């Protein structure tokens, strides 16, 4: 029978092998899924994972999709390091998109570089404000942040829906539920193809948070509070301040991703602005071992699953829901493979009961 034995210390080797093993298992499970649907698994995997990397257009699409994933994922990685479980980034993304869009919708005449900067700041503020609610409820009433942050996602979605169907609807838009199209400095400047400066912001966020986590006292406080709250208190760190800090940070980054998405890729506010980036970023954070530089690569990989899903829909006529199924498989296998970081698997023939002394 199989026995799990706790390692004396987490294995550094398996910390990095586990996500690769999870990826391999997810690809294998994906192949099985394609085979069961009656497609040639090898060809499907090629269409899904390789083909999107072979053209300049799809490479730029990869960066476009990775931008929000990395921005949100790196914030969530810091949050989870502190043992704070913000899973409402999707709602913070929507709140940021709404807040930032206030300028093109309400002040269309203000159209210069300062307007764009104000939009980005408002986006970050909106996301942070949305994240402040679960932070307050947790620090004040010890409310479970998993529930509160998740439930606020739906509130944000309904708020957005009401705005674009009601007060913010484009008067010249033939009654379509959308705002005016953003123009001029209300749109993110483009670097190449559809890649906008949001991608630069994402890389800067990764670099800044990499430094803060490795060398900053603030990052040290986050790690300590997450690893051993009583020791953190002995070190003079306030758990409540860390909870507030990581919630505001991850909310601001999600809000920034939201306004960058609306002002960059979409160009207007509409009922649906995200294919679940805020949830997929949870997988990005875990696949990236909650470490900022690795989150960058994990973000590109998860962006590939979106692109592959679209490609498979076109080439193989498979529903693009496959992308979500694949992302779910990946998270499932990451969490399972993480067992190997803390436990060693041994095989033995006879049961011999007993536990630690």
Q: State the binding string over 4-43 for another protein (x if CB under 8 A, else -).
A: -x--xxx---------------------------------
Token output for 342: 């803390």
Here's the x/- map for another protein, 198-237, by CB under 8 A: it reads as: -----------------xxxx-x--xx--xx-xxxxxxx-
Nearest to another protein of 167, 216 (CB atom): 216
**Dihedral sign for Cα atoms in the order 112, 113, 119, 122:** negative
The residue written with tokens 């679209």 in the block is 310
Q: Which is nearer to another protein, 190 or 233 (CB)?
A: 233
Question: Is residue 354 within the footprint of another protein (CB under 8 A)?
Answer: yes
Structure tokens that stand for 122 in this block:
């408002």
Q: How far is the CB of 3 from another protein (least distance, A)?
A: 11
**For residue 43, which phi and psi values (nearest 5 degrees)?**
-65, -40
As a whole number of angstroms, the distance between CA 64 and CA 69 comes to 9
Helix, coil or strand: residue 190: strand
Among the listed ranges 2-10, 132-140, 177-185, 194-202, the one in contact with another protein (CB under 8 A) is 2-10
CA 183, CA 282: separation in Å to the nearest integer? 32
- Single out the residue of 38, 113, 171, 356 in contact with another protein (rule: CB under 8 A): 356
Q: What is the smallest separation between the CB atom of 83 and another protein, expressed in angstroms?
A: 12
The C-alpha atoms of residue 145 and residue 240 are separated, in whole angstroms, by 13
Q: How far is the CB of 352 from another protein (least distance, A)?
A: 6
Are 170 and 105 a contacting pair, CB within 8 Å? no
Chain residues that interact with another protein, rule: CB under 8 A: 5, 8-10, 215-218, 220, 223-224, 227-228, 230-236, 352-357
């Amino acid at each position: 029978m199989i026995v799990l034995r706790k390692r004396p210390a987490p294995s550094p080797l398996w910390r990095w092998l586990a996500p690769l093993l999870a990826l391999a298992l997810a690809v294998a499970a994906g192949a099985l899924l394609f085979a069961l649907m009656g497609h040639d698994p090898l060809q499907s995997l090629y269409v899904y994972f390789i083909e999107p990397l072979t053209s300049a257009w799809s490479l730029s699409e990869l960066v476009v999709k990775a931008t929000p994933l990395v921005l949100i994922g790196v914030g969530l990685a810091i949050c989870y390091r502190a043992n704070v479980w913000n899973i409402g980034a999707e709602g913070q993304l929507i709140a940021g998109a709404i807040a930032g869009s206030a300028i093109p919708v309400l002040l269309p005449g203000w159209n210069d570089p300062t307007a764009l900067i104000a939009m980005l700041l408002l986006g970050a503020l909106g996301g942070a404000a949305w994240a402040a609610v679960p932070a307050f409820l947790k620090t004040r009433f010890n409310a479970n942040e998993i529930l509160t942050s998740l439930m606020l996602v739906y509130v944000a979605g309904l708020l957005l829906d009401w705005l674009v169907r009601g007060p913010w609807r484009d008067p010249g838009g033939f009654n379509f539920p959308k705002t005016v199209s953003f123009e001029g400095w209300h749109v993110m400047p483009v670097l190449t193809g559809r890649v906008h400066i949001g991608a630069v912001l994402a890389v800067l966020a990764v670099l800044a948070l990499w430094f803060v986590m490795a060398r900053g006292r603030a990052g040290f406080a986050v790690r300590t509070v997450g690893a051993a709250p009583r020791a953190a208190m002995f070190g003079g760190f306030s758990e409540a301040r860390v909870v507030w800090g990581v919630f505001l940070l991850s909310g601001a980054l999600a809000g920034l991703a939201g306004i960058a998405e609306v002002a960059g890729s979409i160009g207007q506010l509409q009922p649906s602005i995200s294919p679940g980036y805020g949830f997929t970023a949870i997988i990005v954070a875990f696949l990236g071992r909650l470490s900022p530089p690795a989150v960058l690569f994990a973000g590109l990989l998860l962006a590939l699953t979106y692109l592959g899903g679209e490609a498979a829909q076109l080439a193989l006529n498979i529903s693009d829901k496959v992308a979500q199924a694949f992302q779910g498989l990946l998270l499932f296998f990451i969490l399972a493979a993480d067992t190997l970081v803390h436990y060693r698997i041994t095989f033995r023939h006879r049961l011999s009961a007993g536990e630690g002394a």
